[in-house]
Chain A
């Protein structure tokens, strides 16, 4: 589904991501962990075509994000670490804007908006301007908009930040269901317990370089993910 090969991204003199390669297959929840400034967000932004990169190749279902960005973006959804949405729209208008971009038929979008907004208890908030939303509500709206067009690949940067326990639980269920239906999820997190319970595969990044990748069992063995992570970070 998502293939990252020898990705390198520099900001001036700083190498934010250094020769990183990853492969995320359909049905996989792929966790991406690392300390602050390790290069997680940069990798995710490169993967969804927001950032240009210096070297390497990223493909989504064999389409290159460099050569065919629009075709790639039609297959994916992205949620950034800080959901700065269009404050001048209401929640409902924003979702309809996203639905228009993905050409979702009116009846389908209505049904999906209802389904996800009801699940996240956002129905009554949809008429309100986004500027009046709390961080958590914006995060919920970003999640709804990501699921709205039923993408093959969902890329999320710290998706659980700001969500209440019920919404976090719901998001985890949605992630599992999405992957069980053949989709894939690539997300970064600092919450290692969540990564440990939820992910099929995990990758650890340090100073832009991939230092460990594999299935959860391969990476952590008999230890906890936290122990492995802290050990690798200390090296």
Chain B
């Protein structure tokens, strides 16, 4: 029974490898093998490779300093963090939000078997992430510091202890996520904020990693003494990898007790967890007079409501909203230096700074592609705009307008910053600001057009239209190609006519392209939208 349940759990976790949500059918054998090869390359190649490099950098100097325990402490800490955070959302969904809880509870399966299967699934997922750090850590240390029976047995015990700690932390974190998500009001905004903090933290550590490693190696004895003095438990934990029996048995006993306790708590509370009603907290409705909106205002409001209620949509299609103003501020502070650098590097091509600033703003604007998936996101509710007395053209224009507003407002700020710092005459300054704004208008209309031309309405997970649809790919990469063309053509031949004429030509071309796309949307696009479904 347990084997069957575990197989089901794992099939669910890896379902995207077997099932193509975009085409709504099972993948071919070749595609399944391809996806698993890709997965192995990512896990074994990228993650294992990164941590093998880290282990190689740390192991030799720390082993020579007689501080193998610090090496194991650092890498075990990373393994625990990666394992717990890597599988926390899987734990949350698998352990606390199982969609098949009702079904399983109605079958003749003891609750403890269900929870054991769920825990084993969490354990395997966490172990998968933790192994990418721990296995290279152990192998590198055995190779560098030498192999003894105690080191091998204690190393394997350390592996077990760390993976069980990952399991315990995943359960606790999953429980915290479940509790928070039940209480949160603006869940999507909080998710976006946390994701941005995570991405920011990741890049901060990534860029500081080399300095951190150097610092640890240089001051290993100082850090080692501090840890040993302030947190003796951590010192003992690190000693497990060195082959110290007593700490190994002590931590093995503590984690085993923690595991039994978690299993008991979850087994006893599983029925409550599994049958919890979800986030339907009763809210008192207060009748109030609502401000009337025009038809277009209502359609636009609907588009904004969809965007702001969906964290996936905001993160994947609206990242530019944050980056564009940041770029504007950076231009104000570092713009002069950047322009001087460009001027020096491309001294034979005057006006390059103006064109490259335009290119940068256009490329940043391309990071926003919320119009492209907006038609596909109508999904099963497509019948609403189709049965309401609104022209398909108005529906499409509302989608483009949402993109336009969300991008043009921050872009206006960044464009003004660029115009202020660029060393050029007033006419070029105006064009440096105008070209990205006109480009954004074209981009919003083009995204809508490609969205209605390549709709994907049969999705079951909104990530499919948001991340995997052809429309989004074309809108995103198309934007970058246009941006690259803007810079590339100038550096190749455009500089001969000067930045003023070159940017003016682009402004006219982009405005014309936007006008043609708008006309297409009003005619062919509207017809296509009316015929969707």
Contacts and interface: CB of A to CB of B under 8 A. Distances in A.
A226 B279 CA distance: 43
Contact of B298 (A101, A110, A123): A101
B295 A86 contact: no
Contacts of A114: 287
Nearest to A146: B387
Nearest to A77: B387
Interface string A70-104: 11111000101010111111001100111111110
Interface in A94-143: 96-103, 105-107, 109-110, 113-114, 123-128, 132
Contacts of B391: 70
Contact of B383 (A50, A70, A132): A50
B332 to A, nearest CB: 36
A100 B305 contact: no
Contacts of A126: 285
Given A50-B386, A73-B388, A106 B290 contact: yes
Contacts of B297: 100
Contacts of A78: 383, 387
Contacts of B289: 106-107, 110
Given A96-B290, A106-B289, A73 B387 contact: yes
Contacts of A72: 389
A84 B379 contact: yes
Contact of A101 (B279, B283, B284, B389): B389
B278 interface: yes
Q: How large is the interface on A (under 10, 10 to 19, 20 to 34, 35 or more residues)?
A: 35 or more
Contacts of A100: 292-295, 297-298, 301
B384 interface: yes
B153 interface: no
A106 to B, nearest CB: 5
B278 A86 contact: no
Interface in A207-224: none
Given A52-B530, A70-B391, A101-B298, A85 B285 contact: no
Contact of A109 (B290, B294, B383, B390): B290
Contacts of B280: 128, 132
A17 interface: no
Contacts of A87: 381
B533 interface: yes
Contact of B295 (A48, A103, A125): A103
Interface string B259-290: 00000000000000000001110111111011
Nearest to A100: B298
Given A73-B387, A101-B298, A84 B282 contact: no
A49 interface: yes
Contacts of B305: 86, 88-89, 93
Given A101-B298, A110-B287, A70 B293 contact: no
B113 interface: no
18 contacts: A49-B387, A52-B531, A71-B389, A73-B387, A78-B383, A86-B302, A88-B306, A98-B388, A100-B294, A101-B388, A101-B389, A106-B290, A106-B291, A125-B285, A127-B284, A127-B286, A128-B283, A132-B278
Interface of A: 45, 48-52, 69-74, 78, 80, 82, 84-89, 92-93, 96-103, 105-107, 109-110, 113-114, 123-128, 132
Which 10 residue pairs spanning A and B have beta carbons closest together? A100-B298, A73-B389, A88-B309, A84-B380, A127-B283, A74-B389, A78-B387, A132-B280, A126-B285, A100-B293
